[in-house]
Amino acid sequence: PGRAHRDADGRLVIGGVPATDLAARFGTPLYVVDEADARARAARILAAFEAAAASVGTTVTVYYAGKAFLSGAIVRWVTEAGLSVDVCTGGELAVALAAGADPARIGFHGNNKSVAEIERAVGAGVGAIIIDSEVEVERVADAAARAGRVQRVRLRVNSGVHASTHEFLATAHEDQKFGVSLDRAVEIGTRIRSHPSLDLLGLHCHIGSQIFDSAGFAESAERLLTAHAELARVAPLPELNLGGGFGIAYTSADDPTPIEEIALGIAEAVASGCRDRGVPVPKLAFEPGRSIIGPAGVTLYTVGTVKPVPLDGGTWRHYVSVDGGMSDNARTALYGADYTVRLAGRVSDEPPALVRVAGKHCESGDIVVDADYLPHDVAPGDLVAVAATGAYCWSLANNYNHVPRPPVVAVRDGEARVIVHGETEADLLARDAGLEASAGLEGT
Ligand code: LLP
């Protein structure tokens, strides 16, 4: 997985640290993030978009989408790589600010920001607030006016293009909660411009996640550019933000187009759309999350039970149950996501067995890896690694069945350090107000 390799003893080594050492020191389940890999991905994506933008005579801002996985260390890695930070709640904003991100390089999203969140963002001096609905125009304008500021904003537009992995769907109206409809973008953009406390940077859209090529982005850009051009003819509209969504490989069946090619495809689509409409090519902006942090993460688990289950046709599926599950990786249960699993503590010459990696939670949908192969002798006590869990795993983690969330460890050059502490059972019990007076807990 990622940049991991095996040592002479067949142990998986991540960031120079054997997985068995990590498990012994920090326990399992354990989120492991390869710091050098995450930093390198951030730098590569920024370089790809900068080169693509330059090729059409413009510039670009790349925001790291914090929803994929936000922590103090990660904010520092991506900002040191030259990225800006995209947040979508007051909580994410607080992390980005506490980690020292430059407020002017933070974008603030959300389809239902509270007035308090808007006030915090304005007060902190965030570089842009993404207006997601009509009512938010006045909410943001009023907050900025009260603070005596001019707030830069983008307007999120629903382009009608919905994309995921290999295909995109283009409809007249996308049936979802984000953004304003394309046919009202000019009217609402004009209304934003009528507020002296707002400064309209440009239009924004985000068409989906885990997208493998540039076609959906190009289609969405082409649609947005009509509204963009109409607004740009009235007053300068410096920017166009096309969101995030660049796909990664979760299994060997996934083959995303290299980001350099995707970036060029998008930049060329924007440039030709602008040429056709006789408007200058705007500055571009993107918001990748998964493609930066996803492949850099691995989750380590310890196998507890192995249960062969006969399938029709005389074959078997081995249910390999591990010590975590849908509380540390909800993606398989939520989206039917695919993952890859490998033995992490040893290699084996045994033939492969079809396995389903299940968790320890009390429901049958608690699957981490739906279908992959492990050596036939996989057994209780084996350490296994699930690849590409850096994005939307820790950030979607939960305490179902009162399972504490695991720690996150960053590995680099043979060193490991905790970047997010794990929870303990005591942490969970401490929040339970109904237990506070319980004599039964005394001394625990
Ligand atoms: N910008 C906006 C406005 C977004 O809504 C998102 C993701 C991104 C950027 C970053 O997209 P990325 O580059 O990470 O694909 N929980 C789901 C994914 C939800 C994505 C939500 N928005 C999953 O685990 O697959």
Phi, psi of 183 (to 5 degrees): -75, -5
For residue 440, pLDDT beyond 60: no
pLDDT in tens, 104-130: 999 999 999 999 999 999 999 999 999
Mean pLDDT of all residues belonging to the chain = 96
| pTM value > 0.95 | yes
What does the alpha-carbon distance between residue 142 and residue 140 come to, in Å, rounded to a whole number?
5
pLDDT given at position 438: 58
User: Residue 262 — very low, low, confident or very high, per pLDDT cuts 50/70/90?
Assistant: very high
Position 437 pLDDT exceeds 80: no
- Res 54 pLDDT > 80: yes
Q: Whose CA is nearest to atom 5 of ligand 1?
A: 206
**Highest mean pLDDT, choosing among 53-62, 166-175, 433-442:** 53-62
Residues with CB under 6 A from ligand 1: 65, 67-68, 109, 206, 209-210, 243-246, 287-291, 331, 335, 391-392
The helix (run of H) or strand (run of E) holding residue 80 is helix 72-80
Q: So what's the pLDDT on residue 166?
A: 80
pLDDT more than 90, % of the chain: 94
- Widest Cα–Cα separation across the chain: 76
pLDDT for residue 442: 54
428 with 401: CB under 8 angstroms? no
What's the pLDDT at 2? 53
**Residue 230: is its pLDDT beyond 90?**
yes
Residue 224 has pLDDT above 90, yes or no: yes
Global ipTM? 0.99
User: pLDDT at residue 1 above 50?
Assistant: no
C-alpha 51, offset from chain centre: 23
| Residues with a known catalytic role | 362
Report how far Cα 89 is from the mean position of its chain's Cα atoms.
14
Q: For residue 171, what pLDDT is reported? A: 85
Q: What is the distance between the alpha carbons of residues 42 and 33, in angstroms, rounded to a whole number?
A: 14
Tokens coding 412 = 């680099």
3-state secondary structure of 338: coil
Q: Work out the percent of the chain whose per-residue pLDDT is above 70.
A: 98
Q: What is the pLDDT of residues 70-111, one digit of tens each?
A: 999 999 999 999 999 999 999 999 999 999 999 999 999 999
- Distance in Å, CA 313 to ligand 1 centroid: 40
pLDDT tens per residue across span 365-387 = 999 999 999 999 999 999 999 99
Gap between the Cα atoms of 57 and 48, Å rounded:
14
What's the rounded mean pLDDT across residues 393-421? 98
Are 157 and 185 contacting, i.e. CB atoms less than 8 angstroms apart? yes
Whole-angstrom distance, CA of residue 179 vs CA of residue 130: 9
CATH number among 2.40.37.10, 3.40.640.10, 3.30.1240.10, 3.40.50.970, domain 5-34+294-433: 2.40.37.10
The b-or-e profile of 90-111 (16+ CB within 10 A means b, else e) is bebbebbbebebebebbbbbbe
Q: What are the sequence ranges of the domains in the chain?
A: 5-34+294-433, 56-288
Burial 336-360 (b: 16+ CB within 10 A, else e): ebbbbbbbbbeeeeeeebebbbbbb
| Topology (CATH level 3) of domain 56-288 | TIM Barrel (3.20.20)
Residue of 63, 74, 106, 290 to mutate, ligand 1, most atoms within 8 A of C-beta = 290
SS3 percent helix, strand, coil of the chain, rounded to 5, is 35, 30, 40
Q: Which two tokens stand for residue 116?
A: 């308090």
Q: Please write the tens of the pLDDT for every residue from 136-146.
A: 999 999 999 99
